Amino acid sequence: MLFLLSSLLQNYYQNKLRLALIGQSLFGQEVYTNLRKQGHRVVGVFTVPDRDGKADPLAVVAEKDGTPVFKFPRWRVKGKPIPEVVEAYKAVGAELNVMPFCSQFIPMNVIDHPAHGSIIYHPSILPLHRGASAINWTLIQGDKKAGFSIFWADDGLDTGPILLQRECPVEPNDTVDSLYNRFLFPEGIKAMVESVQLIADGKAPRVPQTEEGASYEGIQKKSNSKVNLAQPAEAIHNWIRGHDKVPGAWAVIDGQVRSLKHTLSVPAGQPLEIEGASQPGVITKNGLVLYGSDSKALMVKNLQFEDGKMISAAKYFSSGDTASVELTDDEKKMAEEIRDIWKGILSNVAAIEETTDFFKSGAASMDVVRLVEEIKQKCVGLQLQNEDVYMATTFQDFIQMFVRRLRGEDQEEEMVIDYATKDVNNMTVKMPWQCFINGKFEDAENGKTANTINPADGSVSYIHTDIHTYVDRAVAAAKEAFEVGPWGRMNPRDRGTLLYKLADLMEEHQEELATIESIDSGAVYTLALKTHVGMSIQTFRYFAGWCDKIQGKTIPINQARPNHNLTFTKKEPLGVCAIVIPWNYPLMMLAWKSAACLAAGNTLVLKPAQVTPLSALKFAELTVKAGIPKGVINIVPGSGGMVGQRLSDHPDIRKLGFTGSTPIGKQIMKSCALSNLKKVSLELGGKSPLIIFSDCDMDKAVRMGMSSVFFNKGENCIAAGRLFVEESIHDEYIRRVEIKKMKVGDPLDRSTDHGPQNHKAHMEKLVEYCEVGMKEGATLVYGGKQVDRPGFFMEPTLFIDVEDHMFIAKEESFGPIMVVSKFKDGDIDGVLNRANDTEFGLASGVFTRDINKAMYVSERLDAGTVFVNTYNKTDVASPFGGFKQSGFGKDLGEDALNEYLRTKAVTVEY
């Protein structure tokens, strides 16, 4: 006790410092906690912004303690420090900067500001392996010792003087994880705390780094991590373990790319040809044996297929084997105990045979709960769900499932995703980019990739293209999921629970989803957050609530005496549905259609627009995390001419929902009729009129009129394609339309009003549209051309004096172009005739303070939606769809469910 008290007093009377912690992660959290335990005062924590709505572990513990926490997205812009950020940092008054795993670039006027400067943790024995991925290169290079350095920061890349170093031996089978968890993490935390105390006591050394042996190796990528098998076994072993887990070393096996995981040591087995190897590999009971050019061997424990599935290498030749497992004596004894449980529940059954079916023997849902809970009581820790009983209804199947579950053999492999990552918008965005079929991401069969372009700067990312054979596979997966999978047999309320969970996950990832929408479609981030993503979340929650409320009805019919009849209707799902969505609201259009489709009990194959597939693929990832069964949702990117056409023609698809242009809608309708007369709903083009009367609220009419045109940079299906303004207020109205004040720029800038158009071809079409308008005699007030900057930015544009015969009066621009025509004062019927003189009928609007006029006009406007004294006011509960050549069928509201249901009438005579 006296010794403990002495130690505490010793810590208490040691010199203490005012510290600023600049870093992140669990490592940063532990350093922070231990420094405070030692009596140092942390006056500020500077960490990364929240990701997916979750704070970094360092921020969590600091905020709980009441320590000031700063989450600066960046410290510098274009290499220059941000003054307000630097001033906020300086205000905390730190004497030393402690930087555990700091991932941001910190300006030198911050590094050098404290009296004692800054110290950094680095996971290598400097000067070796400067820069990123130091642990990986320690293993790849075959270093016999590893360790870490704590050094004084300077303006070089890990070149500052050394304060303290620790080292440890590298074990023969060490991986990045084992090395980090065994030594670099726990010892690194202790060393950071020790270093701070050395500085506080004035005892910290500054040992200049030598350049002898200094190295910098770049970050390894999948493209250059192929194993060179024409080298000694030890080098192969080091290469594989140095790339575990990311990006994963790989080789071509049986003509296919396979990632190699966890190398060990060796015996004999079945030969396997491997491209580039000096001799065949051998599959043994312990794994895959590889031989180097020196004939020495090494062991590969796991193999990962291109579709993401990982198997034990020892099971390579039997990975598809589904034969029954042979029970051990203990397992046989346990099976008999379970037989007794079945017997206790199924008391009406004389004996529980291997073929006894739990439900056919009279069991109900409460019996399922009892069975699961009785078994879990006997086998503490066993993961068993009610759904498992429904999937293995006979006793022999149940025992097989139970034994595999007990052994841990049937656990689902964690989904493996080959992300494309991008540091943008103060976060690292992780984007799946492959096709999503039957619950897995996989490359296109032909290996081709198509560019997707960030419209703000023209930069390129990649997405695999597709061919119609992939559509066939996706449809087959959806059909199997509907007919024999758990989705078709699932209680509607349970289906709703999964959709609610999916909505929750979308909300957790809303900032990442909104960022993807911005960089893929050009949507202004704030609008993407509120509308593109926000309404998508609302849509799934709304339709999740409908799952257990889909009802038929009883119908009185003419009785044929003396018999009696009961007639009732049932609402049933259609089966496999195809959904084809546009590029203007990639995620929201997905949600509008797929939420209703899934709530009705269907499965689906979805084709996102070829130029904006990324948010749909991120959505696919979230469906797996939500527990949506495999095959229920399939995402197949690609061209409309290839993928879209095959979906229209496919005989196993029972419904196709499409949003897009009228010409393509007509082609789809024709193909659907000729193939198998599949059900169709179409939301097509528009030329929506907005009528503004002189008795309107002018401020509101101007504000909403601009929104009706420029919302989502005009790429809005219900955008007001033509404004009719009453003559007496026309000139004042035009004067108050202040287009010049709209800020055109980076969609990720929170102050931006107007982002880039979706893609280059569309922007060029808009410029051509304006040129035609000017040639026909319309007056260009402002805009009409591309903004002179990188990216696909179109100036917000205003045309007046637009006459009825002109091209721009009749055709949709689908862009930020306001087209204004006058109408004579008091000519209500005249302006209605002009407004309805179009083959489109998607939406419309009217502004007036006269309620009688408003009702009169709304009754006569020939459009699926009429907005009165507002515009763009859509809601998940309100049906949305058009008339005439704007299509038919509804999205949203209860009406949308009927698009994905069929009505069956049943008559019973008794």
Give the active site residues.
122, 683, 717
Q: Is residue 608 part of an annotated ligand binding site?
A: yes
State how far the alpha carbon of 303 is from the alpha carbons of 237, 248, 866, in Å. 15, 10, 59
Q: Is residue 742 part of an annotated ligand binding site?
A: no
For residue 573, is the peptide bond before it cis, meaning its omega torsion is within 30 degrees of 0? no
State how far the alpha carbon of 691 is from the alpha carbons of 823, 840, 853, 868, in Å. 9, 16, 11, 10
Q: Is residue 607 part of an annotated ligand binding site?
A: yes
Instruction: Please report the sign of the dihedral spanned by the C-alpha atoms of residue 697, residue 703, residue 708, residue 709.
Output: positive
Q: Do 617 and 434 form a contact (C-beta atoms < 8 A)?
A: yes
Q: Is residue 146 part of an annotated ligand binding site?
A: no
Which amino acid does the sequence have at 492?
A: P
For residue 123, is the peptide bond before it cis, meaning its omega torsion is within 30 degrees of 0? no
SS3 for 598-651 is: HHCCCEEEEECCCCCCHHHHHHHHHHHHHCCCCCCEEECCCCHHHHHHHHHHCC
Q: Is residue 445 part of an annotated ligand binding site?
A: no
Give 96's strand partners: 19
Rounded Cα gap, residues 612 and 620, in angstroms: 14
Burial of 414: CB neighbours in 10 Å, binned 0-12, 13-18, 19+:
exposed
Q: Is residue 423 part of an annotated ligand binding site?
A: no
Rounded Cα gap, residues 431 and 424, in angstroms: 12
Q: Is residue 640 part of an annotated ligand binding site?
A: yes
Q: Is residue 158 part of an annotated ligand binding site?
A: yes
**Alpha-helical regions (H) of 522-585:** 525-527, 534-544
Q: Is residue 642 part of an annotated ligand binding site?
A: yes
Which amino acid does the sequence have at 113?
A: H
Element (H, E) at 149: strand 145-152
Q: Is residue 259 part of an annotated ligand binding site?
A: no
Q: Which of 150, 137, 139 is nearest to 214 (CA)?
A: 137
Q: Is residue 661 part of an annotated ligand binding site?
A: yes
Q: Is residue 764 part of an annotated ligand binding site?
A: no
Rounded Cα gap, residues 659 and 591, in angstroms: 12
Q: Is residue 813 part of an annotated ligand binding site?
A: yes
Rounded Cα gap, residues 105 and 102, in angstroms: 8
Which amino acid does the sequence have at 54?
A: K
Rounded Cα gap, residues 888 and 610, in angstroms: 24
Kindly state the DSSP code that residue 466 receives in the 8-state scheme: -
Q: Is residue 106 part of an annotated ligand binding site?
A: yes
Q: Which of 206, 634, 478 is nearest to 487 (CA)?
A: 478
Q: Is residue 633 part of an annotated ligand binding site?
A: no
Task: Show binding-site residues for (6R)-10-formyltetrahydrofolate.
Answer: 104-106, 158
Task: Show binding-site residues for NADP(+).
Answer: 581-583, 607-610, 640-645, 660-661, 765, 812-814
Task: Show binding-site residues.
Answer: 104-106, 158, 581-583, 607-610, 640-645, 660-661, 765, 812-814
